[in-house]
Chains A and B, each alone.
Chain A
């Protein structure tokens, strides 16, 4: 009994080591991304040659996604895996990759893409200790919120797709160029709109430290955060001083992501005299934000409404 069982176990291990990879029947490349922003850009670049799926939904906090076993089923078949990187997904993606039984998408593999490669990362090299809260030692990872970084993301995805499907390289190149042209035109339009609605030059307060890139892109200034330390609920003293600062500096906007409880930021905004905007940080965070372009359309539309509703606000 015992030798037989041991033989079976060793046989299973040996056959595992010698078995060839399973044949792939699907015509389209399977692309799995961690966020819907990356999925939207991957769909633009891959066109009809890819099937794209995001693990996290846009209305989820991408720091706190559960590493569900069902994700392993998706990752096992993936040709390409794309992550935001900069430790954004450190709490859930690394374990998924190492348990997916798919060496192609492991870091260093041909099917692994870190979309942050080449991005000019903000808040990098700052003091990083737990006393600072749940900080990212590799810099602020919310870089997709500067639409100009969409180009960098697209090129990284193009390179990844070309690695796993060299025969479609020209197709992916053409689609990337088209995406860049369209994005360039849109960025110019969005920047002009930001000026028109009074966002450029405005002071804002945000709940989490996730809008640094957005502020840089559209020329507004983040003067404070409801969470003084990322991931740590704020103490009452901080809330008091922040409220006073909002009043003193006549801050018009307090921006919060939809996955945070709006009760506290709503009270801070009300007491400080600012307008609370629950702004979608990602594709899919609200149903109107159906793709990367619509995300910025929706954000600026919501900000126009918030700023326009104020006395002396923009049109």
Chain B
């Protein structure tokens, strides 16, 4: 019921946004067909961007639930503007076949002194590098196994506060801290559906259970064309269970997640639009308290590479390995994904992807994806 209400509100917001944008576009193209320079109040409107993510899937489908052959995976609406000289607001609403969700809704204070920035609201957590990227904007049609199992199907996006400090050093060193509520991994109101889902690294036992995160990252220019980013993250939160006595729960049990990530980039500045290479490795280990037994440890990692070999063409591959969380399964599952992506322009792409996974029960699965994304709206920041 709550989900339905939230969906209705967000649909109304989306419709209003799209209608507003259409009306604005219509007003700009009347008579002469020449778009006038925006004037007056329209300059104060937030920047509106919309990303569409259409996907086709084929191949083995071992899970009972499965997915449709063709699906509009997501429409992500972004509204961004400065609130005042000191802060910025960013809202991203994701509309998916399962409903509507607030992907991010943040107020960022960007003019704090002493190298600090702060953010409050709902945001994608700063765990590693991959989790920060919105799902339609990753190069993949799916999520790496470890990211999905440890951080959730859509990634870790809790609500709380975040502080970031840029150290006053001659090189880049950033320290980040977050205090957030522990998000429910799936957000299902249907309890049966929620129980059928795999657990993730953190689950709230009570609504007030907090999740703490600290990250340190540095960036080094190896040359004008090559650079490397190295980061380490530690997070501590409830693991969904609790120590109890005859009177009820005494203390929620905790889990710790540590991660390390390395990102290497190569791009010759003199030929920046034609050739580039990005390689990234992320590793994470979860240690969870258990009732009366030793801590349960689980690990996962993924590595991927994206090589742009022509102005409009990319090829890439990813390797996955991850323990399953929960239950008694100890076996790792592995997987590999390859992709070829064509980008007609900066604003759209078509990607053909193939994935093979070796699952915990010894079976394997091969799937093919056709991922297409396209965005409209103001020119956003190029991702880095």
Contacts and interface: CB of A to CB of B under 8 A. Distances in A.
Interface of A: 2, 5-6, 9, 12-13, 15-17, 19-22, 56-57, 59-61, 64-70, 72-73, 76, 87, 90-92, 94-95, 98-99, 101, 103, 106, 108, 124-130, 133-134, 137-138, 231-233, 258-261
A111 B92 CA distance: 31
Contacts of A108: 85
Task: For the complex of A and B, list the 8 residue pairs with the smallest distance between their C-beta atoms, beginning with the closest.
Answer: A16-B116, A103-B111, A19-B114, A69-B219, A95-B381, A69-B172, A91-B382, A60-B269
A76 B179 contact: no
Contacts of A60: 269-270, 272
A91 B270 CA distance: 17
B172 A73 contact: yes
Interface stretch (B31-39, B139-147, B184-192): B31-39
B200 to A, nearest CB: 20
A70 B171 contact: yes
Contact of B347 (A9, A99, A130): A130
A98 B86 CA distance: 10
10 contacts: A5-B236, A9-B163, A16-B118, A19-B113, A22-B168, A66-B382, A72-B172, A101-B166, A125-B37, A138-B37
Nearest to A71: B172
Nearest to A21: B113
Nearest to A130: B347
Contacts of A73: 166, 169-172
Contact of A69 (B229, B274, B379): B229
Given A91-B379, A99-B117, A259-B273, A68 B36 contact: no
B345 A16 contact: no
Contacts of B112: 16-17, 101
Contacts of B219: 68-70
Contact of B273 (A13, A64, A92): A64
Nearest to A66: B384
B346 A231 contact: yes
B110 interface: yes
A92 B118 contact: no
Interface string B148-189: 000000000000010101101111101001010000000000
A127 B33 contact: yes
A91 B221 CA distance: 21
B209 to A, nearest CB: 9
Contacts of A260: 273
Contacts of B212: 2, 5, 9
A2 B210 CA distance: 8
Contacts of A59: 269-270
A295 to B, nearest CB: 17
B171 A259 contact: no
Contacts of A21: 113-114
B356 interface: no
Nearest to A92: B382
B297 interface: no
Contacts of A57: 224, 269
Contacts of B34: 125-127
Interface in B322-372: 344-347
Contact of B163 (A16, A94, A129, A137): A16
B267 interface: yes
Given A9-B177, A61-B272, A16 B85 contact: no
Contacts of A65: 269, 272
Given A73-B171, A73-B172, A125-B37, A16 B177 contact: no
A92 B384 CA distance: 9
Contact of A98 (B88, B168, B170, B271): B88
B132 interface: no
Contacts of B117: 99, 101
B163 A12 contact: yes
B241 interface: no
Contacts of A15: 114
Nearest to A129: B35
Contacts of A68: 219, 221, 227, 384
B83 interface: no
B35 A12 contact: no
Contacts of B179: 5-6, 9
A81 B378 CA distance: 23
A87 B172 CA distance: 27
B311 interface: yes
Contacts of A94: 381
B249 interface: no
B115 interface: yes
Contact of B177 (A12, A20, A103): A12
Given A59-B270, A69-B172, A259-B271, A13 B382 contact: no
A56 B34 CA distance: 33
B232 to A, nearest CB: 16
A22 B169 CA distance: 12
A258 B268 CA distance: 13
A13 B88 contact: no
A15 B112 CA distance: 10
Most chain B beta-carbon neighbours within 10 Å: one of A57, A66, A134, A258: A66
B272 A259 contact: yes
Given A13-B118, A68-B227, A129-B35, A76 B166 contact: yes
Nearest to A16: B116
A138 B33 CA distance: 16
Interface in B98-124: 108, 110-118
Contact of A22 (B86, B114, B312, B346): B114
B22 interface: no
